[in-house]
Amino acid sequence: MADRQQLQAQKKREQENREETTIPARVFVPTADIYETQDALTVILEMPGVEKSNVNVRVEEGLLHVEGRLDLNKYQGLQPVHTEYNVGHYARSFQLSSKIDQTKIAAALNDGVLSLTLPKIEEAKPRVINIS
Partner 1 sequence: MVAPNGCVMIAGYSDPLDVLLNLQRALDAQTGSGWLQNQTASPGPFPPINVFQQGDNILAIVELPGVDKKDLQIQAKENTIRISGKKSANYPEGSVHRRERVFGEFDRTLSLPIGLDPAGIKAEYRDGVLALLLPRAESEKPRTIKIS
Q: Which residues of 3-42 are buried (b: 16+ CB within 10 A; e: fewer)?
A: eeeeeeeeebeebeeeeeeeeeeebbbbbeeeeeeeebbe
Binding positions for partner 1, 41-80, rule CB under 8 A: 41-42, 44, 46-51, 70, 72, 75-80
Question: Does 127 engage in binding with partner 1 (CB under 8 A)?
Answer: no
Q: Which of 26, 65, 104, 125 binds partner 1 (CB under 8 A)?
A: 26
Question: Does 113 engage in binding with partner 1 (CB under 8 A)?
Answer: yes
Distances (CA, A) of 74 to 78, 87, 120: 9, 12, 39
Question: Does 126 engage in binding with partner 1 (CB under 8 A)?
Answer: no
CB-CB contact of 116 with 107 (8 Å): yes
Question: Does 95 engage in binding with partner 1 (CB under 8 A)?
Answer: no
Q: How far is the CB of 64 from partner 1 (least distance, A)?
A: 12
Q: How far is the CB of 1 from partner 1 (least distance, A)?
A: 6
Amino acid residing at 12: K
